[in-house]
Amino acid sequence: MSEKIYPVLPSAKKNTLIDDETYLEWYRKSVDDPEAFWAEHGKRIDWFRPYTKVKNTSFTGDISIKWFEDGVTNVTYNCIDRHLEKRGDQVAIIWEGDNPYIDKKITYRELYAEVCRLANVLKKQGVQKGDRVTIYMPMIPEAAYAMLACARIGAIHSVVFGGFSPDALAGRLVDCQSTFIVTADEGLRGGKPIPLKENTDTAIDIAAKQGLQVKSVLVVRRTGGKIAWAPDRDLWYHQEIARAEPECPPTEMKAEDPLFILYTSGSTGKPKGVLHTTGGYLVYAAMTHEYVFDYRDGDIYWCTADVGWVTGHSYIVYGPLANGATTLMFEGVPNYPDYGRFWDVVDKHKVNIFYTAPTAIRALMGAGNDFVKRASRESLRLLGSVGEPINPEAWEWYYHVVGEDRCAIVDTWWQTETGGIMITPLPGATKLKPGSATRPFFGVQPELVDPEGKVMEGSANGNLCIADSWPGQMRTVYGDHPRFVETYFSTYKGKYFTGDGCRRDEDGYYWITGRVDDVLNVSGHRLGTAEVESALVSHHFVSEAAVVGYPHNIKGQGIYCYVTLMAGTEGTDDLRKELVTHVRKEIGPIATPDKIQFAPGLPKTRSGKIMRRILRKIAEDDFGSLGDTSTLADPGVVDGLIENRQNKQ
């Protein structure tokens, strides 16, 4: 473990919004008197009616979380309207196409016009406050317009990542009973088309079998590729926009009115709809965006995430726009046309703040330094990392090679559930240790808890909980509050349990060690082992499956599947390929199994519980320390599993 310490850079200290003294003072205040702290910081957004109540939250009983509850506002008023006077002609969104010769700049005034028109289209189609609108889009400005248009009229958006399969899309449509979809004919990534409309059509058919009738599909023409058309259901985006009224007043929203649902994987069952609301979410997204990235007026800010993930919600769209920033949206992939793309884009648009995921950093590191050196990168001031633990080697490469020792790195730990960044350095305040997310943001009270639920003090290694609420926290699982209570508040009474393991060192720095539950993190994408297992067993040749993660050089974790076949079925390489295709079809390419091992039997306890600990060890090719196997119903299966392991070193 690296214990190297990098002092705060003089350049980061200069004019910083928060130096170390300020951090410590504000942090104290934020945990000693959250009410007063957030009463003050809630004012960073504009309210149509100011709040008088600030915090009304309880982590016991039925779990109720309310922030600024009697305040009234609208997210798009804060992200657009209030900037018009001063920054109407400032660029709000820089769009960089998949093709390096195509880009576009949208000013705040243009953004206002686009969002108002689209909001009017939604209204005309009968979308009302509280209705769920599904957004299944490539990374084009219309994806942001669609999110904002929903927020403008109080509709709840559910963005589904464009890489998800029709089955996955259908599941999400049905779960929140969404009957309005915004999509595109095709997406374009790395020069390859992605059949979004075709997938949507398939998903609608699947959903119909489950009783959901989708009423309208609004289709952006992105590639002009050939698509099927249902005249009484499908609408061309450009045609509808052309006919729409240009003004749409922002709907008054209570602070606790829902803003969006975003589906995420857990250790059990199907993905759950994480619900975020209006006021607290926006305050938290905007505040973290400003302080974590030390964002200054005029900065060009680029987060490489997809809007299909929470990072895209909070740090491409809502946080930056609430702060009147210029946010860059990238349609493509890091290795197209080649591995130098990110740095070319940095030079092209003079990017100052760059935020990406460790998996991308590792892949680019592997491609060699020439791709980096080809670009000057002189505009860069700050680098960010998110999504999974960053290994010290990748951190050092990011710091020395990409940032040339003059850019601080903010390794930001957070989750879909937390709405915004929770543990992170502040560039002008925090000394950096490669691999550590360092210290909590204002108002965040991390606790390390041992398996018995005892809070551990000082340097320790335990399960990461958060002791009290913060404004960006999810409010419920959409349509299933008991699942919310059960998932996050039942393991350790009175605390929010993150699902992550974590170490705190002698300086009070936090080191996230990864998930302690059955959640995988593959290239920064979150997947439940149960989801992959249920995809596998839905294949007619599979009788049982157990899925575990194993360390993977680029992806962080790879997907290792143990598959028991139906009697009489032979485990061939062709069947392996078929199962891989099957899982991709069921969930999407992000769930592509890396290894499939055919296993006549799985290690189970006498009560029938699969002992994943053993399967993990074998997948890691570390079977010298399998621990106690005497409780297995049939200890003999282990030898066979070891012999046929797929990760032999």
Provide the minimum distance between the beta carbon of 412 and ligand WT7 in the complex, in angstroms, as a whole number: 5
Q: Is 307 annotated as a binding residue?
A: no
Q: Which of 288, 412, 473, 597 binds ligand WT7 (CB under 6 A)?
A: 412
Provide the minimum distance between the beta carbon of 268 and ligand WT7 in the complex, in angstroms, as a whole number: 16
Determine, following the binding rule CB under 6 A, whether residue 71 of this chain makes contact with ligand WT7.
no
Provide the minimum distance between the beta carbon of 607 and ligand WT7 in the complex, in angstroms, as a whole number: 29
Count of residues that bind ligand WT7 according to CB under 6 A: 23
What pairing do the DSSP bridges indicate for beta strands 382-386 and 353-356? parallel
Taking alpha carbons only, the member of 293, 610, 285, 239 closest to residue 416 is: 285
Q: For residue 36, what is the enclosing H or E element?
A: helix 34-41
Determine, following the binding rule CB under 6 A, whether residue 518 of this chain makes contact with ligand WT7.
no
Taking CB under 6 A as the criterion, which residues in 470-509 touch ligand WT7? 498-500
| Vertex 248: Cα angle to 420 and 317 (nearest 5) | 20
DSSP label at residue 294: T
List the strands of the sheet with 272-277, edge to edge.
234-236, 216-220, 180-184, 132-136, 156-159, 258-264, 272-277, 476-477
Q: Which stretch binds ligand WT7 (CB under 6 A): 230-238, 405-413, 486-494, 604-612?
A: 405-413
Determine, following the binding rule CB under 6 A, whether residue 387 of this chain makes contact with ligand WT7.
yes
What CA–CA distance (Å, rounded) separates 407 from 240?
A: 45
Burial level of 4, CB count in 10 A (0-12/13-18/19+)? exposed
DSSP label at residue 83: G
User: Using DSSP, how many helices (H) and how many strands (E) does the chain show?
Assistant: 22, 31
Taking CB under 6 A as the criterion, which residues in 315-354 touch ligand WT7? none
What CA–CA distance (Å, rounded) separates 20 from 41?
A: 19
DSSP label at residue 256: T
Spatial CB neighbours of 53, under 8 Å, sequence gap ≥ 6: 66, 68, 69, 70
Provide the minimum distance between the beta carbon of 160 and ligand WT7 in the complex, in angstroms, as a whole number: 14
Which is closer to ligand WT7, CB of 180 or CB of 413?
Answer: 413
Q: Which of 69, 240, 411, 518 binds ligand WT7 (CB under 6 A)?
A: 411
Q: Which of 12, 148, 364, 386 binds ligand WT7 (CB under 6 A)?
A: 386
Provide the minimum distance between the beta carbon of 323 and ligand WT7 in the complex, in angstroms, as a whole number: 19
Determine, following the binding rule CB under 6 A, whether residue 383 of this chain makes contact with ligand WT7.
no
Q: Is 553 annotated as a binding residue?
A: no
Q: Is 311 annotated as a binding residue?
A: yes
Q: Is 389 annotated as a binding residue?
A: yes
Q: Which two tokens stand for residue 213?
A: 């009738």
Q: Is 584 annotated as a binding residue?
A: yes
The contact mask relative to ligand WT7 for 423-452 (x = CB under 6 A, - = no) is --------------x---------------
How many C-beta neighbours within 10 Å does residue 574 have?
A: 9
Which is closer to ligand WT7, CB of 112 or CB of 509?
Answer: 509
Which is closer to ligand WT7, CB of 80 or CB of 285?
Answer: 285
- Specify binding-site residues for Mg(2+): 537, 539, 542
**Under the rule (CB under 6 A), what is the footprint of ligand WT7?**
264, 309-311, 386-389, 411-416, 437, 498-500, 512, 514-515, 521, 526
